Chain A
Amino acid sequence: MSIVDLQIRHDFGRFALDVKASSAGPVLGIFGPSGSGKSTILNAISGFVHPQHAHISIMTRTVCRTPGGTVVPPHRREVGYVTQDALLFPHLSVRGNLAFSPRCLGLDSLGGKRVLDVLRLAPLLERRVQELSGGEKQRVALGRALLSQPQLLLLDEPMSALDSRLAREVLALLMEVKRTLQVPMLLVSHQESEMAALADDCILLENGRIAAQGPPLQILARPGRLGGLDNILRLEVARHEPERGITWLVLPGQQQLAMPLSTAAAGQTVSVGVHADEIILCRQRPEGLSARNVVRCLVDGLGAAGTDSLVRLKLGELRLLAHVTHAAVEELGLQPEGEVFAIIKSNSVIRLAV
């Protein structure tokens, strides 16, 4: 069953939106640069924008058919809406926010307790929303949306206002929500890592049109797409070091890669991502470094990426892209087949769901 069916045509004058898509989810990602029409699609689904020509169904129920058909008002569409600003009601407590919806599951009901559990909201209930940290606010916003029993949860850049540590925490929560509560979601994001970690199906939106649809790894790895999660690797788990919070992955050439402690069993193969921006290159093996990973590689090729350089590294069969400045390439004297050390913080190695 499709979680959402979209047919939207709307002419804004300077920009026209024309999309037709359907997805079985359970998590559909919409990926694209700002101004590509992502927010308009969300507003059309939630009912705050009525496109000139539209046929929108949520879980096969038609909520908008224009011109001339039914247009269900936003409060009857049963969508949850979480944006980058938590948008908590400032005059209500955490409990008041969570219980705001007339469709709200009782906080003491079985389902309500599960939501509170997964999002660790119980200790926050009596707090004022002004006293919450950014991550806590986002947890409350997520809980408020989930407790209203949405047919579809709309996530509009839910992590982009948080610093990277909190963003990772919220991402982990969303993955947990997906796993345990099984709510269909529509995630709008411009972060490849979030998309690859959460979405099962992905739409690439460009200038108001759908450029591609498919599994995120396939869509995000399209040639010419750069600047995000450029390295997606499938590696075997070697061992865990719980006391140091590290999981070691097997790399070719008897090397290992450290990542934050994972639940995957030793011997299991996992997908991880590394941003090309977060790889530092070094000619000699550095000493006394806080970063866990110093990986010996060979330069496989050099390319230009706008004003910067892209260095392709090889370790056996593996390829890694590193994004550095032209100046760095010259100063390091990088040559194909030359030896180089890639420095990667363990926290920069992101576990992906797929």
Chain B
Amino acid sequence: MTPAELEIVWLTLRVGALSVALSLVPGVLLGWLLARWNSPLRALVQGVIMLPLVLPPVVTGYLLLKVFGVRGPVGSAYDVLFGGRIAFTTAACVIAASVVGFPLMVESIRLSILGVDRRLEQVSRTLGRGRLGTFARVTLPLALPGIVGGSVLSFARSLGEFGATIILAGDIEGETRTIPIAVYSALNAVDGEAAALRLVLVSVVISLLSLLAAFAFMRRQRTQVA
């Protein structure tokens, strides 16, 4: 592999890790809300969160560009406050990867929290722990395998993110050229096939390892109650 290709792999891993870091807290909160909140609004919230899973990634990217682009509400506000842009930067890659991986993370966390026996939470309450203490000492540790598994799953998803990224972040070497985008440009270039193949191989290996790790964590969810 050439130094340029190594940099592409490194950028891809960084984007994946940052997108997980960005999604983790909202992911846990929403997963908990969807598991424990009984409201007719829940289905709607769940639908909106799941949307990126079924929308064409290009459509997701377009909608994100409308929000984060220079003329979008967030993009223009960012320009006024900090000067500069979000779209077509590494940050845009992270945002695209987060949004597309988010449904996988939330669903996995929701299921793992659903697997925590509510009566354990009630016992914790009677023993004197408040809602937050109970969440931190009972719900969270028991759902941890699902939370880690969901994070790794969304990390794996971010490695393959192409459609939304190309629209929101484009193809800028060293900034937004992640593995899938690099593979696409390499295949379009003359004599690019060898480079594409090397990146494809790396991509397959990293993705497979991430998936295996995700499944291993999810299996560790302790569902039995003592």
CB distance from A106 to the nearest CB of B (A): 15
Query: Are A148 and B127 CB-contacts (below 8 A) given A81-B122, A89-B138, A91-B142?
Result: yes
Does residue A74 face the partner (Cβ distance < 8 Å to B)? yes
Instruction: List, in ascending order, chain A residues with CB within 8 A of B225's CB.
Output: 85, 87-88, 90
Does residue A55 face the partner (Cβ distance < 8 Å to B)? no
Instruction: List, in ascending order, chain A residues with CB within 8 A of B122's CB.
Output: 46, 48, 74, 81
Instruction: List, in ascending order, chain B residues with CB within 8 A of A79's CB.
Output: 126
Cβ of A90 and Cβ of B226 under 8 Å apart?
Answer: yes
Does residue A86 face the partner (Cβ distance < 8 Å to B)? yes
Cβ of B120 and Cβ of A87 under 8 Å apart?
Answer: yes
Give the size of the chain A interface in residues (CB under 8 angstroms): 32
CB distance from B14 to the nearest CB of A (A): 33
Cβ of A100 and Cβ of B226 under 8 Å apart?
Answer: no
Instruction: List, in ascending order, chain A residues with CB within 8 A of B138's CB.
Output: 89
Docked Cα-Cα span, A332 to B126, in Å, equals 55
Does residue B212 face the partner (Cβ distance < 8 Å to A)? no
Residue with the highest number of chain A CB atoms closer than 10 Å, among B117, B122, B123: B123
Does residue A73 face the partner (Cβ distance < 8 Å to B)? yes
CB distance from B8 to the nearest CB of A (A): 41
Docked Cα-Cα span, A206 to B102, in Å, equals 51
Does residue B66 face the partner (Cβ distance < 8 Å to A)? no
* Dominant secondary structure of chain A at its interface with chain B: loop
Cβ of A103 and Cβ of B226 under 8 Å apart?
Answer: no
Mark each residue of chain A from 80 to 105: 1 if its CB lies under 8 Å from any CB of chain B, else 0: 11010111111100000000111100
Which of chain A's residues has its CB closest to B223's CB? A90
Does residue A132 face the partner (Cβ distance < 8 Å to B)? yes
Does residue B3 face the partner (Cβ distance < 8 Å to A)? no
CB distance from B140 to the nearest CB of A (A): 10
Docked Cα-Cα span, A132 to B226, in Å, equals 9
Residue with the highest number of chain A CB atoms closer than 10 Å, among B126, B142, B225: B126
Docked Cα-Cα span, A119 to B153, in Å, equals 46
Query: Are A102 and B128 CB-contacts (below 8 A) given A81-B122, A81-B123, A90-B142?
Result: yes
Instruction: List, in ascending order, chain A residues with CB within 8 A of B126's CB.
Output: 46-47, 74-75, 77, 79-81, 145, 148, 154
Query: Are A75 and B226 CB-contacts (below 8 A) given A85-B119, A87-B123?
Result: no
Cβ of B226 and Cβ of A88 under 8 Å apart?
Answer: yes
Does residue B224 face the partner (Cβ distance < 8 Å to A)? yes
Cβ of B117 and Cβ of A87 under 8 Å apart?
Answer: yes
Docked Cα-Cα span, A83 to B123, in Å, equals 10
Which of chain B's residues has its CB closest to A154's CB? B126
Mark each residue of chain B from 124 to 164: 1 if its CB lies under 8 Å from any CB of chain A, else 0: 11111110011001100110000000000000000000000
Instruction: List, in ascending order, chain B residues with CB within 8 A of A137's CB.
Output: 226
Docked Cα-Cα span, A131 to B142, in Å, equals 18
Does residue B222 face the partner (Cβ distance < 8 Å to A)? yes
Instruction: List, in ascending order, chain B residues with CB within 8 A of A78's CB.
Output: 128
Residue with the highest number of chain A CB atoms closer than 10 Å, among B125, B127, B137, B224: B127
Cβ of B128 and Cβ of A91 under 8 Å apart?
Answer: no
Taking A74-B125, A75-B127 as known contacts, 13 extra A-B pairs with beta carbons closer than 8 A to each other, sorted by chain A number, are A46-B126, A48-B122, A80-B126, A83-B119, A85-B225, A87-B117, A87-B226, A88-B225, A88-B226, A89-B120, A89-B124, A100-B129, A154-B126
CB<8 Å pairs between A and B, sample of 29: A46-B122, A46-B126, A47-B125, A48-B122, A48-B125, A75-B126, A75-B128, A75-B134, A80-B126, A81-B122, A87-B120, A87-B225, A87-B226, A88-B225, A89-B120, A89-B123, A89-B124, A89-B226, A90-B142, A91-B141, A100-B124, A100-B127, A101-B127, A101-B129, A102-B129, A103-B128, A130-B224, A130-B226, A148-B127
Residues of A within 8 A of B (CB): 46-48, 73-81, 83, 85-91, 100-103, 129-130, 132, 137, 144-145, 148, 154
* Nearest 10 CB-CB pairings of A with B: A101-B127, A74-B125, A129-B226, A88-B226, A81-B126, A103-B128, A101-B128, A90-B226, A91-B141, A75-B125
